[in-house]
Amino acid sequence: MRLLTLTLYVKNMKGIIANILWYVVILFGLGFAALNRRSDPIWEAIVDVRMNYDILYGALGIILVLCITGLILKKRWGYHIAVSANATLTLLPGAIFVVSLITLIHDITLFEIIRINVSNIIVCVVSLVFWLWLVKSDINFEQKNI
């Protein structure tokens, strides 16, 4: 019995490598955020919320590790998970910024809202750029017999 596998054929690996490096940066950020939550006395008062953040960040970390693995192995599933991860990393921080903008605009200035959400804005914009770069890359799928 022969197995068919779909592998990526990429003419230019710059987009793939840039996405892998971006995911590594995000993984380090998730790790540092988890360590910060463990040592911050404010988070100790709200253990149930901290646990929800740990679960969310852990799931995102597992997805990013799958993306990195799939992109390094040049697998089709890695590409699709990477596109989905970039979409999530674009839309989720963007939604958090928009909601905070809508809810806080009457209480504090726009500059303060942007200052509070600067990390969300950076992640949103950089992920959008990498998302578009990955989608616009010249990627084909080859079938190989095993």
Give Cβ neighbours of residue 33 (< 8 Å, ≥ 6 apart): 53, 57
Helix (H, G, I), strand (E, B) or coil at 65: helix
pLDDT (average), residues 41-50: 85
Torsion sign (Cα): 40, 32, 52, 103: positive
pLDDT digits (tens, 9 = 90+) for 107-128: 888 899 889 889 889 999 999 9
Q: pLDDT exceeding 70 applies to what percent of the chain?
A: 86
Least confident of 14-18, 105-109, 131-135, 141-145: 141-145
CB 145, CB 2: distance < 8 Å: yes
pLDDT at 128 (0 to 100): 93
Q: Cα(first)–Cα(last) distance of the chain, in Å?
A: 9
- Residue 131 contacts residue 87 (beta carbons within 8 Å): yes
44: confidence class by pLDDT, cuts 50, 70, 90 = confident
Higher pLDDT, 61 or 4: 61
pLDDT attached to residue 141: 62
**Is 9 a residue whose pLDDT tops 80?**
no
Domain map of the chain by residue range?
Answer: 4-88+125-145
Q: What's the CA gap between 25 and 146, in Å, rounded?
A: 35
